[in-house]
Each structure stands twice: as structure tokens, then as C-alpha cells.
Structure 1
Amino acid sequence: MPESKTYHGQCHCGAVQYDVVTDLGSMGDCNCSRCRRLGWVLQSAPASQFTLTSGADNLTTYRFNTENIEHQFCKTCGVESFARGRDGKGTETVMVNVNCLEPPVAVDRSTIKHWDGANW
């Protein structure tokens, strides 16, 4: 089982930056209309393990479908490096885009979980 550690993430231009403590053991992707287009590799973490270190004033929010997820975008470069929401138990959760972690994390897409968001 992977060990939890602190990862650093950011948008493309670096205006929005964060740290997240996770083990990257439950990475996944989603085939909903949005995630499919973005090519996200998702990793969830409790909100208590996520710290936005810069760029709060540079974020804008997009909600769609059930409007339960706050998709957070950098106003400068347009990259969504994380989103906020709640898990099935109501716990505040942050979903980070593993593709936005620095240094880059190697992802074997054949081993990650696939979420059928298109039919959810």
C-alpha cells in the first residue's frame, strides 16, 4: 500500500498553489462530459489534508449538473488543478488533478480506477 506524503500542486502559470497529503493509492479517471475532455487523473483527499498556499483571490468557480462540486479555476491560465465537494458521507473533500502535481507523478492509466460519471 502506498504511503501518505505531502505533494505540491499548482495551475499552469503557478498563481494557484497548494499542498495535499495523500497516498495516491486511489487514483482514478471519469468519463463524464467534463472530465473526459480535460483528461483528469483524480485523487481525493479530506479537505483537512489540503492547504491552498497561494492564489485564493485568483480562483473562479464553475458548477454543473447537480452543482455539488466546486470546480476551481485559475483566472489567469484557466487550469483547474483541484475541486471541492463532499463524499457520500458528507465529509468535505478535495479532488486534486494528479496531472497538476509538481514534480510530475508517473501515472499508469491501466492501473487506475475508472468512474462511469457519464451514466451516474
Structure 2
Amino acid sequence: MDSNSHLESHQGGCHCGRIRYKFEAPKSVTAFKCNCSMCSKRGNISFSVPKHNFSLLSGESYITTYSFGTHTAKHTFCNVCGITSFNISRSNPHAVSINVNCVDPGTLTHVEILSFDGRNWERTHYLRTKMKEAQLRGDKDNSSNESSDQGYEVGSDVSNSLPQSH
């Protein structure tokens, strides 16, 4: 998420509607499709917002949390319909990851999807961190050399395939 972008109010929730939340984010976001053992099985595509930009509106008693491995990630889901509409990711535990497919239609206008190599999480996280450090230093040559090996690649614009009301 670009911190310089204008923030808009968005809402989302699970399939049965018991869990509802609101968050502040730009209208255009970059989401990640991860291939780790958890995300690949649930088909999760998510983007992160700072925790202070997220508010649970309803359904706290319906949230179940599953964690494994380092227990840093908190995989939350509705204990009625089973949908993971948001979670706390291992790569950014100080933010809330929003499942792009659970955002109410009409407020997100563009979603860029990048693939993230979560099966090789440590290596991918290390390369992404090094690339961000190089970008902050203004070392464009170093960041472009690593870009083909950074653990993610550009996907497609899915702004026309965002979830619609049924």
C-alpha cells in the first residue's frame, strides 16, 4: 500500500455476514497471492493495512484463530462459514491482512496481484527486505539486479473481477 495515497473507507466480512469490519486504504492496492501451505489451500489473496486503520464492527465471538510453526501468523476464520476474511501475517505481524475477495464491492477500483513465494518464506522475506533497503538507499542498480529473484512477480489487474453482490 502506498502511504502517500489518499485513504478511503472500505468494509468487508465473511460469507455468512457474522464477521464485519471496516478499514482505511487507498482505492488502488497491491495484493499478494501466496503459495505457502496455508494460503494455497484457501486461495487467499491479500493486502495489508496498519492495525490502527482496521476496526472489527461485529462478530468477535465468531472468530477462531489457527496458528502453527512460529505462531507469528494468526490465521483467523469465521467458525460458522469458515471464511478467512482477514488475518495477521507472518511477514507483517503489525498489520492486518485483508482478503481482497472479502471486501465489499464498489470501493476498491484497482487491485494489482503479485505472486509471493511463501513456500520458501525465509529466503523470499530476506530478498524482499534487502530489496527494500536498497531502494531506501537509492541503489537502483542493486534493486533491479535482485528484482528477478525477489520471490514475487507481477500478476494481473483484477479490477473487473472484484467480488460483486449476489
**How does the TM-score come out when normalised to structure 1?**
0.84
Equivalent position amino acid for 1:98 in 2 = V
Query: Aligned-pair distance for 1:61?
Result: 0.4
- 5 Å-filtered alignment, 1:1-120, equals 3-23=6-26, 24-85=28-89, 92-103=94-105, 111-120=112-121
**Structure with greater contact order relative to length (CA < 8 Å, sep ≥ 6):** 1
Q: Please report how far the alpha carbon of residue 100 of structure 1 lies from its aligned counterpart in structure 2 after TM superposition.
A: 0.3
CA distance in 2, matches of 1:3, 1:115: 26
Deviation readout 1:13-55 (Å, 9 max, x if unpaired): 0000000111242211101111112111111011000000000
Q: CA deviation at 1:117?
A: 0.3
Query: Which has the larger displacement, 11-20 or 32-41?
Result: 32-41
Identical residues among aligned pairs (%): 36
Q: Secondary structure at the match of 1:25?
A: strand
SS in structure 2 of the partner of residue 80 of structure 1: coil
State the shift of 1:85 in Å. 4.8
Q: What are structure 1's unaligned runs of at least 5 residues?
A: none
Partner deviation per Cα, 1:46-79 (whole Å, 9 max, x = no partner): 1000000000011110002221011111111111
Gaps of 5+ in 2: 122-166
In the TM superposition, what is the alpha-carbon distance from 1:4 to its structure 2 partner?
A: 2.2
- Structure 1 or 2: larger helix share? 2
In structure 2, do the counterparts of structure 1 residues 36 and 86 end up closer, same or farther at CA, with 3 Å as the change threshold?
closer
Please say if residues 86 and 92 of structure 1, whose CA atoms lie closer than 8 Å, have aligned partners that are also in contact: no
Query: By percentage of residues, which structure has more strand?
Result: 1
SS in 2 for 1:19: strand
Q: CA RMSD of the aligned region, Å?
A: 2.2
Aligned pairs, number: 116
CA distance 1:4–1:86, shift in 2 (3 Å): farther
